[in-house]
Structure 1
Amino acid sequence: MTGNPFLDSLDWLGDPLRWSGPDGIPLRTLEHLGYTALGVLVAALLAVPIGLYVGHTGRFKGLAVAAAGAARALPTLGLVTLFALLLGIGLTAPLASFVILAIPSLLAGAYSAIESADPATVDAARAQGMTELQILTRVEIPLGMPLLIGGFRGATVQVVATAMLAAYVGNGGLGRYIFQGLGSQNYPQMIAGSLLVIVLALVLDLALLLTQRITAPPGATAP
């Protein structure tokens, strides 16, 4: 121990014992990724079809924007606590919170992606006899793919940064280090857990940013 919490957190991370066993960093990281992936996937199944419909038809856009804005304003810790009281300790409470947290970015990304398609291109496809479903899947989605991926990027980064709250109600993930450190006043462990969450969020953000650029249509720049 150096007396410097940050340096001590690096020593904590460098301890080989932290990288093996049921409480090791690799397993906790996989748990954290699992919570994130599950939350984003469930949210995508709910939000993306609605966003595609809103973007393609232009209907209910005001309602979608208002609902997304309202969901962004909800405090995640408050939601986890409320759902834990209603549903009990377990994964259901934090998962429901992560889904609500991810929906606004996914919804906005989906309808923005469709709206970004050049109207002249869409009209040309319609004039060639394409059905509305063909226009959506063959024209609008490919042209707006970077924005759609951007919605997943925003949702993923938000959820991975707050998935530590799963440990608040008795689950695993990297948040376990933070809450264990809080309970025992082990501040280097808390900092180490926070650093692991930050690094994981940055890695996922970079991976999805590269995906955005790869999926950008030729001649376009991914936002």
Structure 2
Amino acid sequence: MNWVFRNSDLVLDLVREHLVLSLLPVVIGLVLAVPLGWIANRRGWLRTLTLNAAGFLYTLPSLALFVFLPLILGTRILDAVNVVIAMTVYVLALLVRTVADGLSAVPPRIIDSATAMGYRPVWRFLTVELPVAIPVIVAGLRVAAVSSISLVTVGSVIGFGGLGKLFTEGFQREIPQETITGIVLVLLVALVVDGLLVLGGRLATPWERAGAHR
């Protein structure tokens, strides 16, 4: 704890950096995954194509992405945008399947009822199918967020890893307190974000709580 107090400014800066590098990709990935998941759920062949592509993206080594993205995008190798894009790729790969699974789990009778009431496909998706799929999507979002918080530490090898810097610098300078601080803070950030997502999921689905009290 003495090391943490002596270096509190550094630790707070790294926590802020870690949150940006790990959570911004989650937001971007979710925004992209919702329409892609909807498309994948429309036709069997689209689902196969989309999910296979997502599975392939998830198998790409993170270090390889950090190295090759500057060559593809024309960015500098020591650029935080490489970490954000790499993490977005992984989050998107996870969430596309989650969104597709959540939408496919919506009971057909609910879709038929909304259609019979005159809902157009896009409006029905936004106001009926997507809200009903929220519990499944939130479950996948929790996995994606925690994975991103963990994986972003790898970015420390190119100078942008948030709390991962405490791992590498603590090891290089032989300061175990620094390394332990990094590990503990990554775990705490993951737990807090996971808890907030659970809370957000409950607030977004009040009908689930009402059904549980019956």
TM-score class, shorter: 0.7 to 0.9
Corresponding residue for residue 140 of structure 1: 129
The structure with the greater share of residues assigned to helix is: 2
Is it true that 1:188 corresponds to 2:174 in the alignment?
no
Q: What amino acid is the match of 1:110?
A: V
> Distance in 2 between the 1:36 and 1:82 partners?
20
Give matches, 1:1-223, under 5 Å: 10-13=1-4, 16-20=5-9, 23=10, 25-56=11-42, 60-83=46-69, 87=75, 88-171=77-160, 173-216=162-205, 217-218=207-208
Instruction: Flag structure 2 segments of 5+ consecutive residues without an equivalent.
Output: none
Distance 1:200 1:84 in 2: 28
> How far is 1:220 from its partner?
5.6
Q: CA deviation at 1:31?
A: 1.0
Q: CA RMSD in A?
A: 2.2
Distance 1:99 1:152, change over 3 A: same
Query: How many percent of aligned residue pairs carry the same amino acid?
Result: 25
CA deviation after TM superposition for structure 1 residue 145, in Å: 1.2
The Cα shift of 1:185 comes to 2.6
Count of residue pairs brought into register by the alignment: 207
Contact 2:83/2:160 (CA < 8 Å) preserved in 1?
Answer: no
Q: Give 1:84 shift.
A: 5.2
Tell me by how many angstroms 1:56 deviates.
Answer: 4.6
The residue identity in structure 2 corresponding to 1:179 is T
Q: Which amino acid counterpart does residue 100 of structure 1 have in structure 2?
A: V
Q: Structure 1: which 5+ runs fail to align? A: 1-9
Contact 1:109/1:151 (CA < 8 Å) preserved in 2?
yes
Note the C-alpha offset of 1:46: 2.5
Residue 91 of structure 1: CA displacement?
A: 1.0
Higher mean displacement: 209-218 or 150-159: 209-218
Matched to 1:79, the amino acid is L
